[in-house]
Every structure is written in C-alpha cells, then in structure tokens.
Amino acid sequence: MPLEDDDAVVLQRLDYSESSQVLVFFTRRHGKVRAIAKGVKRSTKKRFAVGIDLLELGHLVFSIRTPRQSALAILTEWKPGRPLGGLRSRLDRLYAAQYAVETTAALTEDWDPHQRLYDVLVDVLSSLAAADEVSSHVARFQCALLREIGSWPYLQACVSCGCTPQVDHPVWFSSNEGGLLCRDCEGSRIEKRQISPEVLAVLGGEGAGEGATPAAVSLLDYHITHVMGRPPKVSQALTQLLSTTG
Ligand SMILES: [Zn+2]
C-alpha cells in the first residue's frame, strides 16, 4: 500500500481495541481521515512515543487501501507539531477549541479536502492558545465553516420579500429559510429568532467574524445546530461561559 502524508489536526479519538485507537484527523490536503493507530496505547511501542492527543497539530503518514472512501487508513507515523498547551490553561479557550474540532468533524465528509477551512482551523486554534478574548476567534471559525460547507445564510435582505432591513426595525433570523426575515414576513414562520442590529452589523458585511461578540457566536451556534441537526456538545457550556466573561 502506498504511503501518503499530510499536515493534520486531531479531531476525535475513539477506542478500537485494547491496544489500538481510531483517530479522526482533519488534514490539509485529504480532508477528514480516519486512521487506526495500532499499538498506540502500549507504552512499549516504537512508532508513537506517547499517546496522540485531541487538539494536537502535527504531521501524519498513513497508508490506505483503494477504494479509500470505504477504508480505514493505517497510521504509520505521527510527528507532533507546535504545542498548543495554552488551550488547556483556560476553560473558555478549551471549550472554544473543542467546539471548533467537533463541528469540523460533524460537518465535513471523509476524504473531502477543505484547505481554506483547515488553514482557518489551525490559525484559530493557535490564536486561541494565547487569546484573552475568545468570542471573535470562535465566530471567525464559525463563519469559515458555514461558508466552506455552503451553509452561509443570506443576511443582506429579507429572504422572503427581499426588503432591506431598516434601522430601528426588529429583524429575525431563520435557519430553515437560510437568512433574514423582516417584520412583515416573520409572523408566518415558526423557526426563527430575533437578531440584534449589533450582530447583524458584525455578520452582515464580509461576515468573517471580526469584532464578534458572544451574541454573534450564539446566533451562529443556533444556525450550526440546525445544520448539524443537534447542538454541538460544548455549545451550551461555551455560549454560557462567553456571555458571562464577555
Ligand atoms: Zn420580508
């Protein structure tokens, strides 16, 4: 079997047998890769000096049978990269990082490369490791993820009637509708929530998440929850923590 290599982030770790683990990596060029690490839990094995951690950056070498879509890759080498120990020194950073890897794992397909998203994920994790203010990094990731998977909502006008949001008029957001609803159109929709002018200002332009507040993170999380079909596991803990710490 030919060997391939790539840069990667460890998204998930699943127990497989007494001595082996299945690791889910998000790689730069191959997208999401599931690989079995044989002997990773034994202290005497030679190839992996220590266990492989969640949220770790590194470089992996793996082999894969064809058709690869249906097969588990075999991890032959893992070289840890830049350590991101700062992620574990504060709970808000850790939750934010866990949120990013969980949503990446849930919303991307195996062997479907998303280089731009990979680069944003690595940059966001690196920034979070030293961040004082966490919300803008989370929002930057949420925006990149939604754009990359084609689920970015339309925020320039009401998706139903096409009118532009008026200053001082309340505006709603609907995930099912994929964007804004004006006051005339919101009444007939059940799934919706009000969006504040501040959040709309942050997300309405380029929508890259710069200057985002906890309220913007919360709105994007609401939409991501709909797209995923369930809330991310750390969603509640993260949004609560962000709204109390700013
Ligand atoms: Zn309308």
Confidence of residue 246 (pLDDT cuts 50, 70, 90): low
Instruction: State the Cα–Cα distance between residues 43 and 50, nearest whole angstrom.
Output: 8
Can you give the residue ranges of every domain in the chain? 1-83, 86-246
How many angstroms is it from 163 CA to the middle of ligand 1? 6
pLDDT score of 7: 98
How many angstroms is it from 139 CA to the middle of ligand 1? 26
Residue type for position 85? G
> pLDDT at residue 12 above 70?
yes
pLDDT score of 50: 53
pLDDT score of 41: 61
What share of the chain in percent tops pLDDT 90? 74
Confidence of residue 88 (pLDDT cuts 50, 70, 90): very high
How many angstroms is it from 182 CA to the middle of ligand 1? 4
Fold for 86-246, please state it: de novo design (two linked rop proteins) (1.20.1440)
Which CATH code for domain 1-83?
Answer: 2.40.50.140
pLDDT score of 49: 46
pLDDT score of 212: 83
Phi, psi at residue 37, to the nearest 5°?
Answer: -110, 100
How many angstroms is it from 239 CA to the middle of ligand 1? 29
Binning the chain into helix, strand and coil, the percentages to the nearest 5 are 35, 25, 40
Beta strands in 29-178 (DSSP E): 31-37, 57-63, 73-80, 154-158, 171-174
How many angstroms is it from 208 CA to the middle of ligand 1? 25
pLDDT score of 11: 97
How many angstroms is it from 22 CA to the middle of ligand 1? 48
pLDDT score of 175: 97
Dihedral of alpha carbons 10, 11, 14, 16, sign: negative
Q: What is the pLDDT of residues 20-63, one digit of tens each?
A: 889 999 999 999 999 998 876 655 545 554 578 899 999 999 99
Helix (H, G, I), strand (E, B) or coil at 27: strand
How many angstroms is it from 174 CA to the middle of ligand 1? 12
Helix (H, G, I), strand (E, B) or coil at 150: coil
Paired residues of 81 in beta bridges:
none
- Going by C-alpha positions, the residue among 114, 175, 125, 98 that lies closest to residue 148 is 114
Instruction: State the Cα–Cα distance between residues 153 and 223, nearest whole angstrom.
Output: 9
How many angstroms is it from 183 CA to the middle of ligand 1? 7
> pLDDT at residue 147 above 70?
yes
How many angstroms is it from 197 CA to the middle of ligand 1? 16
pLDDT score of 47: 55
What's the token pair of residue 235? 């969603």
Q: What is the pLDDT of residues 151-167, one digit of tens each?
A: 999 999 999 999 998 87
Q: What is the pLDDT of residues 176-204, one digit of tens each?
A: 999 999 999 999 999 999 999 889 988 98
How many angstroms is it from 241 CA to the middle of ligand 1? 34
